[in-house]
Amino acid sequence: MADSSVSLKGSVAAAAAGTIDIERCRDDFPVLRREVHGKPLAFLDNAASSQMPEPVIRAYTEYHSRYHANVHRGVHLLSQEATAAMEGARETLRELINARSSKEVIFTSGATDAINLVMQSWGRANVGEGDEILISTMEHHSNIVPWRMLCDEKGAKLMVIPVSEDGVLDMEAFASMLNDRTRLVGIVHVSNTLGTVNPVKEITRLSHERGIPVLVDGAQAVSHMKVDVQAIGCDFFVTSGHKMFGPTGIGILYGKQELLEEMPPWRGGGDMILSVSFDEVLYNELPYKFEAGTPNISGAIGMGKAAEYIMSVGYDAIHAKEQDLLQYATEQLQTIEGLKIIGRAPEKSSVVSFVIEGIHPHDIGTILDLEGVAVRTGHHCTQPLMDRLGIVATTRASMAMYNRREEIDQLVAGLRKTIEMFR
């Protein structure tokens, strides 16, 4: 089959010893070799979008150059190959998050689209006047705005779990906010702004004691840590391809089969039906019921290959590498006078947000860019969190498995230069 010819064997890192050498894994990412403004690129903006390794790029382009065809309806070979590759990707993603069945893995255009699917289908059928949706202060706008829209439409209330100054979720407040009107708990697994890792398993346990379903926004989790949706017990889990070394415009919604079966379709069109007449439509089975129209086939194949890549590196190696980078970055940044780290949760992924007295983050980001350092500045799609912390923006360095201590040194040197310029 076309897809299986793209294996990890071609990657330098994989060739090392059957397993991926985390240091050499860098060689798999062509973009990391480039220069920016005449300086070596230090790519520290992985929380916004991570880079793609060679096997993902190859799988993606191979679909376009060898078997581009529509899926599910064709009898010809190309269509069969495309279908097999896309369904193979679904199975790989099922394995990555340990869903029970690939029927529980629905392709969407991203994490945002997946949350909107839950809101439009599950939400509109299950939330009414006076009901409550419970989210947290550290949610990404993607896990706020759809619920705000639903609450406005239904006359429901959006309730918000507080976070501490350090960026830790207030679990006592959370437990006390669960009540008979709570219809859904929506919680970010890992905060894109603070790096905080939330206790999603405990949150799910407490919610389920009251029969309340839980949606976990895992956009920042999958590239950093093993996610087991069955162990967490959550009802919905969403993530995006481009946050886990895959392409943009693709993501998945995981949902428990029982729930997905009950949910009405949201978008109507081709592929999501069994039969259509002008009087009646019979809907297709899972997961196709929620995949109207021609899907992002190459995106799905690329995302599946990215999942394969992550599994071949292994989460133990990824975790060890990233925690070292996190610790190193935290230590080094603290040596800079006037710099304050935002987000000091005991359990963090490799994200460091900070502010520097007297210098706007956008100025910091612009000067760092000239030094070859790519970071993100702004509110990171978490404006309510910024309000809570009494700031308008931060500079955020977010590390992935392929980053090096040298890149953090480059960041720190760039920051010292920035401070010199503003003095």
Ligand X SMILES: *Cc1c(COP(=O)(O)O)cnc(C)c1O
Name the residue nearer to ligand X (CB basis): 103 or 189: 189
Closest distance of CB 285 from ligand X, Å? 26
Name the residue nearer to ligand X (CB basis): 220 or 298: 220
Closest distance of CB 4 from ligand X, Å? 28
What is the contact mask toward ligand X in residues 64 to 103, using x (rule: CB under 6 A)? ----------------------------------------
Q: Which of 163, 184, 219, 232 binds ligand X (CB under 6 A)?
A: 219
Segment contacting ligand X by CB under 6 A, of 30-38, 151-159, 217-225, 254-262? 217-225
Segment contacting ligand X by CB under 6 A, of 56-64, 105-113, 298-306, 307-315? 105-113
Residues paired with 40 in a beta bridge: 35
* Helix, strand, coil % over all residues of the chain, rounded to 5: 45, 20, 35
Closest distance of CB 165 from ligand X, Å? 20
Name the residue nearer to ligand X (CB basis): 233 or 249: 249
What is the contact mask toward ligand X in residues 270 to 289, using x (rule: CB under 6 A)? --------------------
Name the residue nearer to ligand X (CB basis): 140 or 256: 140
Question: Cis before residue 146, ω within 30 degrees of 0?
Answer: no
Beta-carbon contacts of residue 38 (< 8 Å; ≥ 6 apart): 372
Segment contacting ligand X by CB under 6 A, of 212-220, 222-230, 276-284, 299-307? 212-220
Cβ pair 328, 411 in contact under 8 A:
no
Beta-carbon contacts of residue 316 (< 8 Å; ≥ 6 apart): none
Total residues at interface with ligand X (CB under 6 A) = 13
Q: Which of 192, 204, 207, 403 binds ligand X (CB under 6 A)?
A: 192
Q: Which of 142, 196, 394, 398 binds ligand X (CB under 6 A)?
A: 142
Q: Which of 3, 28, 217, 291 binds ligand X (CB under 6 A)?
A: 217
Name the residue nearer to ligand X (CB basis): 58 or 243: 243
- How distant, in Å, are the alpha carbons of 178, 268, 282, 350 from that of 264? 26, 11, 12, 38
Report if residue 140 touches ligand X, rule: CB under 6 A: yes
Closest distance of CB 110 from ligand X, Å? 3
Q: Which runs of consecutive H residues, i.e. helices, occur in 269-398? A: 297-313, 315-334, 361-370, 383-389
Name the residue nearer to ligand X (CB basis): 182 or 349: 349
Report if residue 50 touches ligand X, rule: CB under 6 A: no
Q: Return the ∠ at Cα 249 (arms to 245 and 255), rounded to 5°.
A: 85
139: nearest Cα among 61, 194, 204: 194
What is the contact mask toward ligand X in residues 107 to 126, using x (rule: CB under 6 A)? ---xxx--------------
Query: Dihedral sign, CA of 99, 102, 106, 111?
Result: positive
- DSSP class per residue in 384-409: HHHHHHT-S-EEEEE--TT--HHHHH
Closest distance of CB 219 from ligand X, Å? 3
Alpha-carbon torsion angle 150, 153, 154, 159, nearest 10: 50
Ramachandran assignment for 418, one of left (phi > 0), alpha (psi -120 to 50 degrees), beta (any other): alpha
Q: Which of 85, 188, 300, 368 binds ligand X (CB under 6 A)?
A: 188
CB-neighbour burial class of residue 274 (10 A; exposed 0-12, middle 13-18, buried 19+): exposed
- Separation CA 270–CA 252 (nearest Å): 19
Please tell me the number of Cα atoms within 13 Å of 55 on its side-chain side. Answer: 26
297: nearest Cα among 62, 96, 100: 62
Name the residue nearer to ligand X (CB basis): 48 or 177: 48
The residues annotated with a catalytic role in the active site are: 381
What is the contact mask toward ligand X in residues 223 to 262, using x (rule: CB under 6 A)? -----------------x--x-------x-----------
The DSSP bridge pattern shows strands 273-276 and 35-36 to be unpaired
Name the residue nearer to ligand X (CB basis): 214 or 359: 214
The contact set with ligand X (CB under 6 A) reads 110-112, 140, 142, 188, 192, 217, 219-220, 240, 243, 251
